[in-house]
A and B are shown apart, each in its own frame.
Chain A
Amino acid sequence: MAAEAKAPIRRVSSQRTLAELLRVIFLPLGQLFVFTVGSAAVLGVIVVVLAFLLSRSDPKIFETAVAILPQVIIDGIVRGFLFATIALGYTMVYGVLEFINFAHGEIFMVGGFVGAGVAYLLNQWGVMSTMPALLFVIIAVLLGMTVSGLLAMGTERIAYRPLRNAPRLVPLISAIGMSLVLQDAVRMIATNTPLGFNARFETPDFGKAFQLASIPLGARSIPVLIGPKAVIFIVAALLMLLALNYLVNATRLGKAIRAVAQDRATASLMGINVNQIISLTFLIGGALGGAAGVLFGMNIGTVNPYMGFIPGIKAFTAAVLGGIGNITGAMVGGIVLGFLEAFVASYLSLFTGGAFSGASYADIAAFSILILILIFRPEGLLGEATTQKV
């Protein structure tokens, strides 16, 4: 158990000045910004160069590639924050238990369904149309966070805690089982209520998309749009990162979480209730996943019981990419993966003349990244190397 080396943040000082505190909390934002700009720039340059090379055969490719670039970057950011918020839950749990909570994608999905349910009820009561959009978002997100958080805590209590000292694969298999059970349990509920399998996520009117710029392409011009829901998503994700950083680095609870992550036995000798801290970790991770689910469902407009699985795996990929157990790493990994997927999805079919459909190969790109990262840099972008103890 190499827990000590994978603690979320290594600094353990008892007294901190305000400046230090601010630095600890806001430094991740800086890192995130650097990686966002950096990966957008790198991928953008690659695409432009590729487009330039290909434009000899078909000059229109270059024009189109450059024209859609800003929109692709915006899509990448939205996608990235989705993975990032889900990845936070994986990384929290992994940091504390060294355990991949396979059912986390389903916790995310449940959040989406709670949001859809709230929206359905509000719509039934007829208050949806008169309600301020922001108030609706806050209500839905809070409810989604509560239900998902409690659910995550419940799954830990039922399916993982009895297995805590078993060989590694035992809780993992139990978690796979939990993931399947949650998928079908939600399906059973959804198909027997008015929501249905593909539940519509009603929202109040958020207003029109913001037009950031307009790029002339021949006769017409391509607008660069970002929807208000996407803006809410990004802002909420950033707030969650800040709150989580504050919680983990500047509160007593956070200190207890870090202590449990470092060494469970010693932490319990220091008077920390280890079971309670692990439960709280699941609660926090689940709540973040639930919030992501609500925001995602709101963005997409529908939710279904199987929607959590693939984003869950990709978010895990993101967590590994950033360095699992590291909170900022999870965000950074999510952003980088989101950009990568957005670029593959948008440009693959353009560059290959429609021979490969970008959307399907984006999944393959994500999994390939996972394999490559695990082979060449298993500690992730922001993680530090650990050795396995005998």
Chain B
Amino acid sequence: MATSSPQTGGTGAWDRLSGLLGRGPGGYAFLSLYLLITSLTLLLNPRTSLLTDVIFILFLLLLLIVYRTRVHIGFKVALGVIALGVVLPYFGTLNPYYIDVATQAGIYVALALGLNVVVGFAGLLDLGYVAFYAVGAYIWSIFSTPQIGAMISGAVPVPNVWFYGFILVGLMIGGAFGVLLGLPVLRLRGDYLAIVTLGFGEVIRVLAENLDKPINITNGAQGIKDIARPPIFFSGALRAIGLRQLDDNQLYQFFFYFMVLVIVLITVMIVGRLKNSRIGRAWTAIREDETAAIAQGIPLVRMKLMAFGVGASFAGTMGVVFAAKQLFINPPTFDLLTSISILSMVILGGLGNIPGVILGAVLVTLLNLQILPRIAEILRSAKSAGVPIPQSFDPTQYQRLLFGLLLILMMIFRPEGILPEDRRRQELHEDEDEPSEESAGATA
């Protein structure tokens, strides 16, 4: 992505680009044309292939470009609605694989936004974030399947229409767990906090793996299958308006796609409002300097707990949706690597900056679900063509390497992320022209 030097923070390239295409009639024409071309190429060539992947990414890139250009807000919204609300779902009927990727990306966007509240806004490094996601997922899984009977004898699964209520339950339980984790670790400084939250995440996973006895709560390592999906009340209406004969699975894909889209929009709105509120400023103050924040009269305990609670509640909500979408969950779904990948989304995009985090989440998800499998495919065909590639090398199996390199490189070369938050960019580059190596203690 942005390749300019860190000092200018990428704005130079963007300024030039948006100067050319981002304003006036040129901007409107460019954006409309861009949308038209990418949509048409997608719709005319819906087969799963490398080319479609690239176009799909270009198509999603449109949203970023729209966000960065200075056109009328109504036009931006219209483009967004057409792209995400019409073109993408229609493309989904032609090739269900991509809409699934989009849904997955949406889930990760919401998770990354939630983690961003904790890490980006309040500056509390949480390495066990996936635990809250797991809690949400297990709540719905247990209550919607006969698993509940194994836990409380005689209990029957709740009717699947309760799913909508359980989204709120997931939100509340996730938030409660966030506060619960926050309470003991409030006094800890950044790096200790990271280890403790990591431990907490592992504890939740180990519990999920082992709580099949003495009372069978989570069904242990086998996981829970046949999780109920909510009833889709609009299927009749959709068929009535003459949409192609869609089977239930496709309907559910649409349902979850739009549901995730709505949740992401709500999340963006809430997080954006929070950021610019009194609470958001308090979080920033805590992140910058805890002691100074206390001196300013900021209630440290309440604010930190709120950051944990808010962040965790998004994960709890998404957990419920994820369980219903996936139909099957087991403990390894919620391992440390998932936490780390969400963290790398936040860091790649830009800690604290909402559009940046969304970008990071989409990029990492695409990388994970599309680009790596595609590279693997290319390597396989190259191998069968006789290129000497080691037998057991499969790029999809090297996510750790990828995330690890991503984290290291981002930290060394661009710690503020691709789309940085202004304040953080200044903070990270304030001592740029000071001699860096020897003055460590002197600057303290």
Interface residues of A, Cβ cutoff 8 Å to B: 1, 3, 99-100, 158-159, 161-174, 176-185, 187-188, 191-192, 263-266, 268, 274-275, 309-310, 313, 316-317, 320, 352, 355-357, 360-361, 363-364, 367-368, 370-371, 374-375, 378, 388-390
Bound Cα distance from A159 to B392, whole angstroms: 28
B406 contacts which chain A residues (CB < 8 A)? 177
Q: Judging by beta carbons under 8 Å apart, are A173 and B411 in contact?
A: yes
Q: Judge if B347 is at the interface, Cβ distance under 8 Å.
A: yes
Contact B206 A167 (CB under 8 A): no
The reply to whether B206 and A179 contact each other, CB–CB distance below 8 Å, is no
Which residues from A are CB-within-8-Å of B431? 165
Given known A169-B190, A370-B199, A371-B196, contact A188–B401 (CB-CB < 8 A) = yes
Q: A166-B428, A169-B125, A310-B202 are in contact. List 15 more A-B contacts (CB 8 A).
A: A168-B189, A176-B340, A180-B340, A180-B404, A180-B407, A181-B401, A264-B441, A274-B440, A309-B336, A356-B213, A370-B195, A374-B185, A378-B188, A378-B192, A390-B289
Q: Which of B188, B191, B213 contacts A100 (CB 8 A)?
A: B191
Residue from B192, B194, B202, B440 within 8 A of A367 (CB atoms): B202
Q: How far is the CA of A174 from the CA of B393 in the complex (A)?
A: 25
Q: Say whether B440 contacts A164, CB under 8 Å.
A: yes
| A-B residue pairs in contact (CB < 8 Å), sample of 16 | A163-B411, A163-B412, A165-B436, A166-B415, A172-B125, A174-B408, A176-B127, A177-B403, A177-B408, A183-B400, A183-B404, A192-B390, A265-B441, A355-B214, A363-B203, A364-B207
Q: Which of B198, B213, B404, B439 has the most CB of A within 10 A?
A: B404
By a beta-carbon cutoff of 8 Å, the part of chain B in contact with chain A is: 123, 125, 127, 184-185, 187-192, 194-196, 198-200, 202-203, 206-207, 209-210, 213-214, 289, 291-292, 336, 340, 343, 347, 390-393, 398, 400-401, 403-408, 411-412, 415, 427-428, 431, 436-444
Q: Nearest Cβ in chain B — how far from A116, in angstroms?
A: 18
Q: Tally the A-B contacts, defined by beta carbons under 8 Å.
A: 169
Give the CA-CA distance A309 to B411 in the complex, in Å: 21
Can you name the residue of chain A whose Cβ is closest to the Cβ of B214? Answer: A355
Quick check: A159 and B210 within 8 Å, CB to CB?
A: no
Inter-subunit contact B200/A367 (CB<8 Å): yes
What are the residues of chain B within 8 A of A177 when measuring CB–CB? 403-408, 411
CA of A310 to CA of B202, assembled, Å: 10
* Known A184-B400, A371-B199, A375-B187; contact A191-B405, beta-carbon cutoff 8 A: no
Q: Which chain A positions have C-beta within 8 A of B214?
A: 352, 355-356
CA distance A370 to B188 in the complex (A): 12
Q: Do B400 and A170 touch across chains, with their CB atoms under 8 A apart?
A: no
Chain A residues, Cβ within 8 Å of B427: 167
A165-B440 in contact (CB<8A): yes
Question: Roughly how many angstroms separate A135 CA and B403 CA in the complex, as a whole number?
Answer: 40
Residues of B within 8 Å of A3, CB to CB, are 441
A184 cross-chain contacts in B, Cβ below 8 A: 398, 400-401, 404
Distance of A316 Cα from B336 Cα, bound (Å): 17
Asked whether A360 lies within 8 Å of B206 as measured between CB atoms, the reply is yes
Q: CA–CA, A62 to B194, complex, Å?
A: 41
Q: Are B184 and A363 closer than 8 Å at their CB atoms?
A: no
What A residues does B125 contact at CB under 8 A? Answer: 169, 172-173
**Which single residue of chain A is at the shortest CB-CB distance from B399?**
A184
Name the residue among A158, A187, A370, A374 with the largest chain B CB count within 10 angstroms: A374
